[in-house]
Structure 1
Amino acid sequence: MPSAVRFGVNYTPSVGWFHHWLDFDLDSVRADLDSIAALGLDHIRVFPLWPYFQPNRTLIRPRAVEQLVALADAAAERGLDVNVDGLQGHLSSFDFLPAWTQTWHRRNIFTDPTVVEGEAEYLRTLAAALADRPNFIGMTIGNEVNQFAAGPHPDPDRITPEQAGAWLRRLLAACAQGAPGKLHLHASYDAAWYQDDQPFTPGHSARLGDMTAVHSWVFNGTAQRHGRTGTATEHHAAYLVELSKAWADDPRRPVWVQEVGAPAPLIHAEHAAAFTEATVAGVLDCTDVWGVTWWCSHDVARDLADFPELEYSLGLLTNDRQPKPAGRTLARIVKEQRPYAPAVRTTALVVDTTPGRSVCAPGGAVFEAFARLTADGARPTTVLASRADDKEHLAARGITAVVTPDQVTE
């Protein structure tokens, strides 16, 4: 068992949002990091904007890389470790793809050989620049890059699951080349678990990279269906942690809740603290959790235009760096954290995705059965139908009872 769960936050600069890379101000960054460290958190996830760092396929701007290193060093001075997402990619409803992949140079970002080699060199370069920093956790290939591979994206780069796997392996290898021995991973939004035609699969998330990342957002139909205080809503992050274990080959593979937040208006501001408390409590009742990283650190400034309304208020801190109720709640949880040793979950819900992954989505048979079992206090995990009779696999995970969704009654 790990001795503790890591608690951190996705760093959203208070001045200029991620456009701060265009007018990088280390003093402003330091002030932001001071306010994050004051919450007692131990790491941040950082987002270079890909077009700003690699505006041409063969130009990775040295000054931008130096600024990234300066940010990481400033974080170290405040006791904060750093994970870096390379390919941004997609953030808060905006796409950031370099011009050399678009319009007149339109090429598939997952399969075009020259594009993929450009991406690999970019990730290798960022990783190498930070490889000797003790506070560098490692690279995430990019933020929810799977959203570029299928609908509802308006202009997706269509690929097969086999092509998605090949792309992930190539870029994970580039990260490891740049920074051997660090933790390198990839991150998909929940379509990987829920969407039938999404080419990035649960197997990719649960088997490739040094740990599994899950991103938990209850605006995906969960809160709409179950309400703010519904079991499925408050345990959505825990559900994704346990769902991921069905596909993992390593029964002790670490899982990182890399994004989770309290989105208004489904979670109103006055309820954000309670949602935070319930969500973290659910996650801490799962085994093999590496960490919880809240989205996000600071609110988006209202003078920035065209964000979806919910994006402006997701911070643990206000735009002027003052802690909000959810931030104070998370700080208290960190301060009061007990030794992390949750009991093994001995009841496994069978996951059969033969009809499609949507059985795992809100409203699907697996999702709803898991919520009912959780509400009844059963503390379920999940197991693939193909492994439900594998005594060796079940024993390795401590599973003693297996149930199917249709056995779970109202």
Structure 2
Amino acid sequence: MTNAIDAPRFGVNYTPSKGWFHHWLDFDLDAVRADLDSIAGLGLDHLRVFPLWPLFQPNRTLIRPRAVEQLVALVDAAGERGLDVAVDGLQGHLSSFDFLPSWTATWHRRNIFTDPEVIEGQENYLRTLAGALAERPNFLGLTIGNEINQFSGDPHPDPDRITPEQAAAWLRRVLAACEQGAPGRLHLHAEYDAAWYQDDHPFTPAQAARIGAVTAVHSWVFNGTAQRYGAKSTASDQHAAYLVELSKAWAQDPHRPVWLQEVGAPAPHIAPEAAGEFTAATVAAALDCPDLWGVTWWCSHDVDRSLADFPELEYSLGLLTNDQQVKPAGRRLAGAVAEARSSFRKPLPRTTALVLDLPVDAPKRSTCAPGGAFFEAFMRLTADGARPTALLAEHAADQQHLTARGITEVVTVEDVDRS
């Protein structure tokens, strides 16, 4: 089914200013309200929140009612401020830390993607969260978990290895549980960019672009983009837009919405004094992508430096400081949001398609990664003003497909290399 996009949404991934995601341990609704006031003050319309799975479901058959009540209270407080809320379920993985319940680890070590009892527990948990929020008008829907694909293979130190077929089966089962709990909401899954860039990764581009209500992409230029091409390069400024357009190669719906669910300005890859400029350039590039559902920045507040052992870049990703002061990236995002709302026009179709010669299951996809031939050809076209999109080779001669996407010119990597 095609979903019409009138205007993109603008939001933020909510990182509590007090206690980070450990705030669920001693939940303080007044502190949350202060954070939400500062988020609403940026002119944003939604946030993405992260229950910690082991705290909400400490035993396979125990989903803590008080924890669920606190999540509902947060969603209600957001609604009072005009903010919609998307909820992630299986947390899972956040900012380099893993949060798995004890019933999946050590003496109870079980594969979280294939063990029947673990999957049943996950289904019950996601169904419970969705059901608790189903009647809230500002509840957008559930994302299964944050970049949970990182548990499925390298470079994770202790992966739960699976096949692409097992990954797809797991996605469909747990998304069905979300739908059972809250029918008709925006339920989806979201992977970090291994799904698009890493050869033989079990979570695939086709799964991302075909399973769930929308396609989600997470754009981080510390993945080699900024290191290889520079912080102020076309590749860095356009990386998020590139992922949005890359995802469309595998979509069966020619106008499937794409959610830029995570993007941020990581230091030192993006210098603090350049964060505002990078933010504006990234948002402008994303808004030039047809069928963009929205942009959700990472993240709302800095990580308090009293908390130990985070990678250095995680401490300063916030649009706001821990004492609610707006940072340069926050000011630029607020300005970009205000401008987009006052003057947004749907972008024209991207008429030039760069052919991606991969099978639909794409076991070898490193050509799409920074340094890969497809990535570099796409960025050369972009630098020349072509506004490219991505097209699987199997569709290059399919006029019906091309017409549905508004494509009038098809070029290959070799064409770009010769030009």
Q: Of residues 205, 209, 217 in structure 2, which corresponds to 1:206?
A: 209
State the match for 2:239 in structure 1. 236
Give the AA of the match of 1:339: F
Distance in 2 between the 1:189 and 1:335 partners?
Answer: 29
**Deviations 1:235-259 (CA, angstroms, capped at 9, x unpaired):** 0000000000000000000000000
Give the AA of the match of 1:170: R
State the match for 1:246 in structure 2. 249
Between the aligned residues of both structures, percent identity stands at: 77
Matched, 1:343 2:351: no
Alignment of 1:355-394 (within 5 A): 356-394=364-402
Instruction: Count the aligned residue pairs.
Output: 410
Alignment of 1:100-249 (within 5 A): 100-249=103-252
Q: Is the 8 Å Cα contact of residues 395 and 401 (structure 2) preserved in structure 1?
A: yes
**Deviations 1:129-187 (CA, angstroms, capped at 9, x unpaired):** 00000000000000001000010000100000000000000010000000001110000
Aligned-partner SS, 2:370: coil
Aligned-partner SS, 2:403: helix
Q: Is the 8 Å Cα contact of residues 126 and 174 (structure 2) preserved in structure 1?
A: yes
State the match for 1:402 in structure 2. 410
Q: Of residues 86, 95, 113 in structure 1, which corresponds to 2:89?
A: 86
Once the 2 structures are TM-superposed, how far is the Cα of residue 2 of structure 1 from its aligned partner? Answer: 2.5
Distance in 1 between the 2:83 and 2:393 partners?
Answer: 41
Q: Is the 8 Å Cα contact of residues 196 and 357 (structure 1) preserved in structure 2?
A: yes
Give the AA of the match of 1:368: E
For structure 1, the 5+ residue unaligned runs are none
Once the 2 structures are TM-superposed, how far is the Cα of residue 340 of structure 1 from its aligned partner? Answer: 3.3
Once the 2 structures are TM-superposed, how far is the Cα of residue 292 of structure 1 from its aligned partner? Answer: 0.1
**Deviations 1:13-37 (CA, angstroms, capped at 9, x unpaired):** 0000000000000000000000000
Once the 2 structures are TM-superposed, how far is the Cα of residue 387 of structure 1 from its aligned partner? Answer: 1.1
Distance in 2 between the 1:253 and 1:2 partners?
Answer: 9
Aligned-partner SS, 1:79: coil
Please, which moves more after superposition, 162-171 or 330-339?
330-339
State the match for 2:320 in structure 1. 317
Q: Is the 8 Å Cα contact of residues 5 and 257 (structure 2) preserved in structure 1?
A: no
For structure 2, the 5+ residue unaligned runs are none
Q: Is the 8 Å Cα contact of residues 81 and 135 (structure 1) preserved in structure 2?
A: yes
**Deviations 1:54-95 (CA, angstroms, capped at 9, x unpaired):** 000000000000000000000000000000000000000000
Q: Is the 8 Å Cα contact of residues 150 and 197 (structure 1) preserved in structure 2?
A: no
State the match for 1:62 in structure 2. 65
Distance in 1 between the 2:345 and 2:167 partners?
Answer: 35
Once the 2 structures are TM-superposed, how far is the Cα of residue 407 of structure 1 from its aligned partner? Answer: 1.0
State the match for 1:353 in structure 2. 358
Q: Is the 8 Å Cα contact of residues 3 and 340 (structure 1) preserved in structure 2?
A: no
Taking structure 2 as the reference length, the TM-score comes to 0.97
Runs of 4+ deviating beyond 3 Å: none
Distance in 1 between the 2:258 and 2:51 partners?
Answer: 23
Taking structure 1 as the reference length, the TM-score comes to 0.99
Aligned-partner SS, 1:277: helix
Aligned-partner SS, 1:235: helix
Matched, 1:264 2:267: yes
Q: Is the 8 Å Cα contact of residues 150 and 158 (structure 1) preserved in structure 2?
A: yes
